[in-house]
Amino acid sequence: MSLRALVSRQPSPNSNQVERRSAPRHECLREVVCQAVIAGHDESAPALVENISNTGLRLVLRRCYEPGRVLAVSWRDAHGVTQRTLLAHVIHARNVGDGTWSMGCTLRVRVSDDELKQLS
């Protein structure tokens, strides 16, 4: 089952939670590739950007990167050529079932509103 199909089956976050983000999130559902930024080689993993803001994003993928890890999140075109890569710091990771993980990340560099429109 694709990551996109799994996301559509997940329940919505609890609307009673207090919003603590400094920038509003925009629904996205864009396929990206993630790779841990560490010494040595780590395989890239397909992921889905579920939402994004100027300062952070939520990723859904089939592996867990522990909080504290820095990821290179790459947007690619239809031919697999990388168009943009952002560095994201994993703040929290939650197992959502079906072997899928949801990870909240802060971006290492704030993106502009124009760039945000291009990425979402």
Domain borders along the chain are: 26-119
CATH 2.40.10.220 describes domain 26-119: yes
Full-model pTM? 0.77
> Of the given ranges (17-31, 78-92, 95-109), which has the lowest mean pLDDT?
17-31
φ, ψ for residue 54, nearest 5 deg: -65, -20
Q: Does residue 31 or residue 1 have the better pLDDT?
A: 31
DSSP single-letter state for residue 40: S
Residues 86 and 51 sit within 8 Å (Cβ to Cβ): no
Strand residues in the chain grouped as ranges (E)? 26-36, 45-52, 56-61, 70-76, 82-97, 100-107
At 38-90, the pLDDT tens digits run 856 678 899 999 999 999 999 999 999 999 999 999 998 888 888 899 999 99
C-alpha distance from residue 30 to each of 7, 20, 41, 49, 80 (Å) = 12, 24, 25, 5, 14
